[in-house]
Structure 1
Amino acid sequence: MAQLEHLLTPVDTVVARMRALDEALPERDGVAVFNRVYLAVTEEVERGLEAEQFTDPRAAATLDVRFAERYLAAVAAVADGRRPPACWRPLFQLRRHPGVRTLQFALAGINAHIGHDLALAVVDTCHALGCEPVDLEDEFDRVGDLLASLEERVREDLMPGPDLLQVADPLTHLLGSWSLERARDATWTTARALWALRRFEDVAEEFAERLDAAVGLAGRMLLTPLPG
Structure 2
Amino acid sequence: MQATTVDEVISFLDQIIEDNKEIPSTMGYFAALYHKVTCKVKEGIENHFFDDNPRMEHLDVIFANRYLQAYTDFKNNTTPSKSWQVAFEKADDYWFIVLQHILLGMNAHINLDLGIAAAEVMKGENINDLKGDFDKINVILGELVHDVEKELSLIWTTLTKILKETERFDTILIDFSMKLARDGAWKYATSLANSPATNWPQLISARDQRITEKVKLVTDPGFFANLILKIIRLEETGSIKTRIEILQKD
Q: Same fold (TM over 0.5)?
A: yes
Question: Relative to 1, partners in 2 of residues 1:161 and 1:124: Cα closer, same or farther, differing over 3 Å?
Answer: same
- Residue from 127, 144, 149 that aligns with 2:138: 144
Contact 1:30 1:92 in 2 (8 A): no
Cα-to-partner distance string for 1:47-73 (whole Å, 9 max, x where unaligned): 111222221011111111110000000
State the partner residue of 2:68. Answer: 72
After TM superposition, give the deviation of residue 197 of structure 1 in Å: 1.4
Residues 79-118 of structure 1 aligned to structure 2 (within 5 Å) = 79-118=75-114
State the partner residue of 2:157. Answer: 161
How many equivalent residue pairs?
216
Contact 2:74 2:85 in 1 (8 A): no
Question: Relative to 1, partners in 2 of residues 1:73 and 1:164: Cα closer, same or farther, differing over 3 Å?
Answer: same
Name the structure where helix makes up a greater proportion of residues. Answer: 2
Question: Relative to 1, partners in 2 of residues 1:165 and 1:194: Cα closer, same or farther, differing over 3 Å?
Answer: same
Residues 42-57 of structure 1 aligned to structure 2 (within 5 Å) = 42-57=38-53
User: Which runs of 5 or more structure 2 residues have no equivalent in the other structure?
Assistant: 221-225, 232-250
Question: 1:227 & 1:136 partners in 2: Cα distance?
Answer: 42
Cα-to-partner distance string for 1:12-63 (whole Å, 9 max, x where unaligned): 1111000111111038633210001111000111111122222101111111
- TM-score w.r.t. length of structure 1: 0.85
Q: Identity over aligned residues, as a percent? A: 25
- TM-score w.r.t. length of structure 2: 0.78
Question: Relative to 1, partners in 2 of residues 1:157 and 1:69: Cα closer, same or farther, differing over 3 Å?
Answer: same
After TM superposition, give the deviation of residue 10 of structure 1 in Å: 0.8
In structure 2, the residue corresponding to 1:87 is in which secondary structure? helix
After TM superposition, give the deviation of residue 164 of structure 1 in Å: 8.4
State the partner residue of 2:187. Answer: 189
In structure 2, the residue corresponding to 1:206 is in which secondary structure? helix
- Residue from 162, 172, 175 that aligns with 1:177: 172
Question: 2:136 & 2:51 partners in 1: Cα distance?
Answer: 10
State the partner residue of 2:205. Answer: 209
State the partner residue of 1:5. Answer: none
Contact 1:21 1:32 in 2 (8 A): yes
After TM superposition, give the deviation of residue 187 of structure 1 in Å: 0.6
Instruction: Tell me how large the CA RMSD over aligned residues is.
Output: 2.4
